[in-house]
Amino acid sequence: MHWGDTVKSKIETVGSLVLGIDPAPDHAPLSLCDRSDLFLERYVKALLDGAEGKVGFVKFQSAYFEAFGSGGMASLARCIAIARERRMAVILDAKRGDIGSTADAYARAYLVPGGSDLEVDCLTVNPFLGPETLKPFVDCARDYGKGLFILVKTSNPGSGWLQDQIVDGTSVSERVAEAVAVWADETIGDHGIGAVGAVVGATYPSQGQRLRTVMPRSVFLAPGLGFQGGDPRATSALATPTGPVLISASRGVAAVEDREMPLDAYRALIRSRLDGFRQTLSPAAIPASLSG
Ligand SMILES: O=c1ccn([C@@H]2O[C@H](COP(=O)(O)O)[C@@H](O)[C@H]2O)c(=O)[nH]1
């Protein structure tokens, strides 16, 4: 199935929220942390239990699994499988990017069916090394129904240091966006949505408006809801029929101060936080079946 079709059908049935999964033991309930070797999978299962029926997309942050070394990467593979069993579309936020031959190996690891046990539906990639280094990812997205989110305007406070710089009359992020738009057109699916999308932080919705005009057929991944203060309403309003917006929150859904919280209460908290975030989105981003 084309990534754009997957996005469209998940949004229509469950909505555009993305559950960000950044497993950090220092803000998780203690009952999940008592055996460090089991922490990652227990944490992911607790979040997925709480998110049942509330989200159709999960975004795993690779770094938090890598931080546990080889065991963490093995857990990531198992957590990807668990999320897929629960019919979630899996985005891996690994921000990969390197010279073409190495990018080819990354693409095989994450995007080629059966290429490795880290295969996901969609991957974040970094454009800093230039267009030919993104080609292996774009080819895989087109050939195997996968999705890409290329970093265009990231959510962090310092993103403007490079991304807002003007070169030959165009900002660096717009320059990247122009390339994304071309790749989106080359990978278009039945619904007019390209497989190549963009990371556009929820913290910069007015730049998002401008970027939407440059990338009319790309899915936006908008991280930064919750802890980073992203604007849910203005960001979800960037969605168009051929340019859906997926909005993600990680700590804002999962982090707790009361670390003694029992697991059942934690699952209930996840559910109510996801409901709360959903209510802050533009009404157009909420499927009719869930808007009541
Ligand atoms: O521009 C970007 C790109 C990626 N991220 C990632 O999203 C989550 C955000 O976590 P929160 O707890 O919801 O703030 C994290 O994994 C980042 O690496 C981003 O924040 N901004």
For ligand 1, whether the C-beta of 127 sits within 6 Å is no
Q: How far is the CA of 190 from the centre of ligand 1 (A)?
A: 30
Residues facing residue 96 across a β-bridge: 125
Ligand 1 atom nearest residue 159's Cα: 1
Catalytic residues: 95
Asked whether 241 and 213 are in contact (CB, 8 A), the reply is: no
Is the pTM value of this prediction over 0.90?
yes
Matching residue, tokens 């660096």: 172
DSSP result, 99-160: SHHHHHHHHHHHHSTTS-TT--SEEEE--TT-GGGTHHHHHHHHHHT-EEEEEEE-SSGGGH
**pLDDT tens, the chain, 292 aa long:** 999 999 999 999 999 999 999 999 999 999 999 888 889 999 999 999 999 999 999 999 999 999 999 999 999 999 999 999 999 999 999 999 999 999 999 999 999 999 999 999 999 999 999 999 999 999 999 999 999 999 999 999 999 999 999 999 999 999 999 999 999 999 999 999 999 999 999 999 999 999 999 999 999 999 999 999 999 999 999 999 999 999 999 999 999 999 999 999 999 999 999 999 999 997 666 665 555 4
Q: Which of 269, 222, 223 is CA-nearest to residue 245?
A: 222
Asked whether 16 and 244 are in contact (CB, 8 A), the reply is: yes
Give the single-character DSSP code of 248: E
Q: How far is the CA of 71 from the centre of ligand 1 (A)?
A: 23
Q: How far is the CA of 18 from the centre of ligand 1 (A)?
A: 11
| Cβ partners under 8 Å of residue 232, min gap 6 | 202, 225, 247, 277, 280, 281, 282
Domains of the chain: 3-290 (3.20.20.70)
d(CA 104, CA 136): 5
For ligand 1, whether the C-beta of 201 sits within 6 Å is yes
